[in-house]
């Protein structure tokens, strides 16, 4: 996943490029995880990816970033494959995929977001340090900067990973279930920052499986269950029929199905 240099290709003006997922099919050894997914995401949107456990939400996010082999299809951002432009992406995987015993402080984790601009062997610049500091401050975690990441609560850890994503100064932000195991204050802080990013023309993709009323935060919903059931504004997507197709009988939980 070596980032490519931004200088090696024409830049797409920020805030104008859309993501296109084109005929995407992904299999694991003997399971079909995603079947023929087609959708677009415009910049400046806060996008929620929903579906039951095993629906292929994490698979979709990873396949979009080129982290999994695909059977067919491609994902384009602007005029090139998204997987060729990972220097424009910040990705925070599902909690269960992060090794929380990793011996790093909060500051180390956030500075990892600056490695690409700095290079592994170079010293972090004053600018990089300032950006990391601002990012930690923005998520309300600056005073924890010297703590080991493993010693924080789930909500605090998620905020630190959000700070790392901010420090990357990406155009596309991908978060896999960032609200699992977090407190209400953290959820509010995270949504506030997601809204600010979208307003600034960034694309924010967020995997969730159940958010209750918080679903109203999203500008676009992608509803999945191995295949794309629907995508668009909430009013279009959250119909009883679509929810039944996605979740079977368990459709009561959003509370405002049309």
Ligand X SMILES: Nc1ncnc2c1ncn2[C@@H]1O[C@H](COP(=O)(O)OP(=O)(O)O)[C@@H](O)[C@H]1O
Q: Using CB under 5 A, list all residues that contact Mg ion.
A: 58
Round to whole Å and give the CA distance between 243 and 250: 8
Lookup: tokens for 179: 């609200």
Could you give the strand order of the β-sheet that contains 19-28, starting from the edge strand earlier in sequence?
31-41, 19-28, 72-77, 80-81
Q: Answer with the entry of Mg ion, ligand X, none that 96 interacts with (C-beta below 5 to 8 A by kind).
A: none
Instruction: Return all residues near 189 (Cβ < 8 A) that are at least 6 apart.
Output: 139, 140, 159
> According to CB under 6 A, which one of 53, 120, 213, 249 is a site residue for ligand X?
53
Q: Work out which of 33, 92, 182, 229 binds ligand X, going by CB under 6 A.
A: 33
DSSP state of 86: G
Does residue 54 touch ligand X according to CB under 6 A? yes
**Minimum distance between the CB of residue 201 and ligand X, rounded to whole angstroms?**
28
Asked if 13 interacts with ligand X (CB under 6 A), we say no
Closest among 38, 12, 47 to 204, alpha carbons compared: 47
Does 102 participate in binding ligand X (rule CB under 6 A)? Answer: no
User: Is 199 exposed, middle or buried, given 0-12, 13-18 or 19+ CB atoms closer than 10 A?
Assistant: exposed
Beta pairing partners, 89 = 172
* Of 107 and 218, CB closest to Mg ion: 218
| Distance (Å) of CA 254 to CA 48, 95, 192, 216, 223 | 13, 23, 21, 10, 13
Binding residue (CB under 6 A) for ligand X from 56, 78, 113, 178 = 56
Among 24, 22, 63, which residue's Cα sits nearest to residue 227? Answer: 24
Closest distance between ligand X and the C-beta of residue 207, in Å? 6
Cβ closer to ligand X: 54 or 181? 54
Q: Tell the smallest beta-carbon distance from residue 160 to ligand X (Å).
A: 22
Distance between CA atoms of 12 and 40, rounded to whole angstroms?
Answer: 17
Comparison of 14 and 97: residue with beta carbon closer to ligand X: 97
Per-residue contact flags (x/-) with ligand X for residues 58 to 87, judged by CB under 6 A = xx----------------------------
Shortest gap between Cβ of 132 and ligand X (angstroms)? 30
- Among 43, 51, 113, 178, which residue interacts with ligand X (rule: CB under 6 A)? 51
Interface contacts to ligand X, rule CB under 6 A = 28-29, 31, 33, 51, 53-59
């Amino acid at each position: 996943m070596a980032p490519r240099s931004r200088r090696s290709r024409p830049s797409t003006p920020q805030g104008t490029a859309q993501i296109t997922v084109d005929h995407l099919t992904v299999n694991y050894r003997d399971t079909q995880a995603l079947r023929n997914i087609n959708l677009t995401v415009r910049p400046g949107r806060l996008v929620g990816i929903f579906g039951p456990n095993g629906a292929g939400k994490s698979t979709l996010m990873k396949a979009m970033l080129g982290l999994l082999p695909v059977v067919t299809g491609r994902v384009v951002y602007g005029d090139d494959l998204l997987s060729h432009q990972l220097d424009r992406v910040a990705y925070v995987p599902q909690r269960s995929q992060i090794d929380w015993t990793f011996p790093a402080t909060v500051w180390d984790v956030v500075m990892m977001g600056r490695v690409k601009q700095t290079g592994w062997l170079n010293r972090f610049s004053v600018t990089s340090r300032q950006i990391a500091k601002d990012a930690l401050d923005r998520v309300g975690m600056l005073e924890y900067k010297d703590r080991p990441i493993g010693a924080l609560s789930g909500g605090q850890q998620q905020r630190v990973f959000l700070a790392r994503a901010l420090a990357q100064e990406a155009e596309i932000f991908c978060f896999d279930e960032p609200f699992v195991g977090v407190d209400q204050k953290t959820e509010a802080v995270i949504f506030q920052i997601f809204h600010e990013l979208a307003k600034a023309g960034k694309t924010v993709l967020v995997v969730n499986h159940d958010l209750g009323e918080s679903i109203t935060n999203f500008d676009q919903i992608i509803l999945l269950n191995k295949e794309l059931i629907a995508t668009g504004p909430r009013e279009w997507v959250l119909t009883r029929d679509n929810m039944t197709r996605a979740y079977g009988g368990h459709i009561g939980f959003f509370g405002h199905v049309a």
